[in-house]
Amino acid sequence: MSVPPLDLGAQYRQLRPALDAAIQRVLAEGNYIGGPEGEALEHELAQYLGVPEVVGVNSGTDALLLSLKALGVGAGDDVIVPGFTFFATAEAVSLAGARLCFADCAPGHFNIDAESVRQALTPRTKAVIAVHLFGQPVALDPLRDLCARQGLWLIEDAAQAIGARYRHRNIGSFGSTAAFSFYPTKNLGAFGDGGAIACCDPALAARLRRLRNHGRQSRYEHGEIGCNSRLDEIQAAILRVKLPLLDVWNEKRRRLAALYQEGLRDTACRWPPPVAGSIPVYHQFVVTHPERDALQAFLFKHGISSAVFYPIPCHLQPALAQSHAGLCLPRAERLAQEALALPIYPELSEESVMHITQLIRAFEGDVG
């Protein structure tokens, strides 16, 4: 049995009539940027997330960068981010002109640790970015308390966590802003790049809309330096077709994750339990294994695609290692050596998951 890491073609085939109709609607209207599809998507996402405002942008990276700019974070400011995350989280801080400070993962979890954040505070700290990695919500209560006491902006990087919940609220409704990605592989994916920013402040949302469109106040009047970061109409129309199915897809991911957990019980595989009061969406199902590289090679030999997220922590990346020389984040560094993402997507069959768990058990029998 061969199992790909993802099967976007299967999703398209299931939704082809509705997706084709949505794309044709945009083509027939001839309005490709700044039209009714984008406005409707922003409204529908705001309703889904339970926030007053959503601003569509062209990527999850820009969602982070524009959030920082709109909140006034820049040169002379420090921003704390997790060391174990996709590089874009750190990259956005540098692009905003602020200085990066890294925090470690919480014990037994992939996400940022509030105590490590506290230790990373400096007199210049202005914001913290909490990444809900792999669709697992961060333990937000201690982090929100810390940010409130220190007068810091809390930004949620929810690029991998749309639909996840914490304390009976949707992820993305807790921070000053929340950044979402609609990269094709995400739980809610477009047919190209796309992103959105959620926030509760109408004035902040208005500034974000100016910043995404060259700082424009009127057609030829620009009140500040912005950029070109607009979500196009075709992508918005595609996302509007998919959004009503998101909860069903996420529930399928949870069922598959439960099958993995049952099938891998009593193996060397480990995975973090959801934090109290949270409901994950398993953008990835990631385990740790002491023989990660050998296990990945064994699975590949048997037709199973897996992936390593992320083999190099941000503070050790070539672009940042010199400026953060001597920094040690032991939990992040260990996860980089042991974490392995197993296939998980709504179209994946339960039989495939059971087959993968049997292969892992066979691997452990071979190496044992």
What pLDDT shows up at residue 367?
A: 57
Report the chain's C-alpha Rg in angstroms: 21
Same domain, 28 and 172: yes
pTM for this entry? 0.98
Residue 257's CB is within 10 A of a number of other CB atoms, namely 21
Residue range 106-126: average pLDDT?
A: 98
Local structure of 181: helix, strand or coil: strand
In a domain, residue 151? The reply is yes
What share of the chain has pLDDT > 90, as a percent? 98
| Percent of the chain with pLDDT strictly greater than 70 | 99
The answer to whether residues 119 and 135 belong to one domain is: yes
User: Is 1 among the domain residues?
Assistant: no
Residue 78 belongs to domain spanning:
8-104+112-244
Q: What CATH number is given to the structural domain containing 303? A: 3.90.1150.10
Regarding whether 332 and 215 lie in a shared domain, the answer is no
- Is 187 domain-assigned? yes
- For the cut 90, the answer to whether the pLDDT of residue 213 exceeds it is yes
The pLDDT of residue 368 is above 80: no
Sign of the Cα pseudo-torsion (158, 160, 77, 55, in order)? negative
Alpha carbon distance, N-terminus to C-terminus of the chain: 24
Q: pLDDT-derived band of residue 338, with 50, 70 and 90 as boundaries? A: very high
Residue 366 pLDDT > 80, yes or no?
Answer: no
Let me know whether 348 and 302 are in one domain.
yes
Judge if 223 and 261 occupy the same domain.
no
* CATH number, domain containing residue 204: 3.40.640.10
Please tell me the distance from the alpha carbon of residue 244 to that of residue 238, in angstroms, as a whole number.
Answer: 11
Helix (H) or strand (E) holding 157: strand 153-157
Same domain, 207 and 279: no
Domain boundary among 244, 262, 279: 244
In total, how many domains does the chain have? 2
Domain boundary among 193, 211, 244: 244
Tokens of residue 99, six digits: 């200085």
Domain shared by 224 and 274, yes or no: no
Q: Is 299 within a domain?
A: yes
Task: Tell whether the model's pLDDT for residue 13 goes beyond 80.
Answer: yes
| Whether 226 and 279 share a structural domain | no
198 and 270 assigned to the same domain = no
Helix (H, G, I), strand (E, B) or coil at 9: helix
Q: Is 216 exposed, middle or buried (0-12, 13-18, 19+ CB in 10 A)?
A: middle
Mean pLDDT across 356-364: 97
